[in-house]
Homo-oligomer: A and B are copies of this chain.
Amino acid sequence: MTKPRTEGANLPADKLAELYRTMRLIRDFEESMIKFQKAGELPGPVHLCIGQEAVATGICDHLDDTDYIASTHRGHGHFIAKGGDPALMMAEVFGRVDGICQGKGGSMHAADFSKGILGANGIVAGGVGLATGAAYACQLAGKGQVSVVFFGDGAAAQGVISEALNVASLWKLPLLLVCENNGYSEFSPYNTVNAGEIADRGAAFKVPSIQVDGNDMVTMWRTARTAVERARAGEGPTLIEAQTYRHRGHVEYEDTFLTKPYRSEEEVEAWKAKDPLPRFRDYLVSGELVPSEDLDAIDADTASIIRNAADFARNSPWPEPGDALKHMF
């Protein structure tokens, strides 16, 4: 595996602001979910990605609507970063008819095919096959599209990953395998469920593999760029292991059933100190790359987007019961 060095950014200010905006929007969406879940407004479970926003943002910034992503149960960030409408996802998580899946999927299945979002997934590593197949389609189409699969460190233990590494390498598919290593597979710490390092698993299949600080927005973005360019140029797949952390629990209601803690307060605090959002903000402001007023304006804007999304979701009606019978074929 290779490990990219953190470099000074020479990205234009508007690009930096855009990346900040995406992260902020994801964060606001997720924080609203905490509230709605507590208030009992969400019918089903939600898995939040607070603390991991830089990964989705850094990868998806290089993608167009004609590129594909397959996501996980922790998929809100990917959906938003790939250009999905937060209001449509919000209504979906509320189970309403104006949801992106008309209330049929919920958080774990939010998808927007018009944006190349093949969907969140309730099956760990379930997106791997989908994205690999989409990568095959991209290759057949010959237009330089790429396909990305996000998966967790827990998912890395699933055999389908090695199957995908093998076939993507042999076929030189335009596929990015992006592992968000947040240190836990549900409640199991990394080293109890993964032998060795995930980024080491690509080499044996001749897949270039990179281990990157997933909380470092700029490095993440650069790493993604290289991999996407490689894929678009027909040079094949890349495995990226982004090291990050989830601030929230595995699932929002976990306190109701866990009888003992599975990680220490200190560990959580230590990672919160590395929160990618304030870190990126500091970097932008202290480096005088984007004025803090601009970032404040973004904050205000994303907050209002999420407020509106929540209104939209809450005001959307429930689906018609009989619609349960539609959409099988």
Contact = CB atoms under 8 A, between A and B. Distances in A.
A195 B193 CA distance: 25
A206 B194 CA distance: 10
Interface string A142-162: 000000000000000111111
A194 B163 CA distance: 10
A207 B200 CA distance: 13
Contacts of A207: 195
A255 interface: no
A159 B161 contact: yes
Interface residues of A, number: 25
A169 to B, nearest CB: 4
A321 interface: no
A196 interface: yes
A166 interface: yes
A114 interface: no
Contacts of A204: 196-197, 200-201, 203-204
| Identical subunits present | 2
Interface of A: 157-163, 165-167, 169-170, 192-197, 200-201, 203-207
A205 B157 CA distance: 10
A154 to B, nearest CB: 11
User: Would you list the 7 A-B pairs with minimal beta carbon distance, nearest first?
Assistant: A159-B159, A169-B195, A162-B162, A200-B204, A201-B204, A159-B163, A195-B205
Contacts of A160: 159
A170 B193 contact: yes
Nearest to A202: B204
A203 B205 contact: no
A61 to B, nearest CB: 29
Contact of A196 (B161, B192, B206): B206
Given A159-B162, A170-B194, A170-B195, 17 more contacts: A157-B166, A157-B167, A158-B159, A158-B163, A159-B161, A159-B163, A162-B162, A165-B195, A169-B195, A195-B205, A196-B204, A196-B205, A196-B206, A200-B203, A201-B204, A201-B205, A203-B204
A206 B159 CA distance: 16
Nearest to A162: B162
A169 B157 contact: no
Contacts of A206: 195-196
A91 to B, nearest CB: 36
Nearest to A200: B204
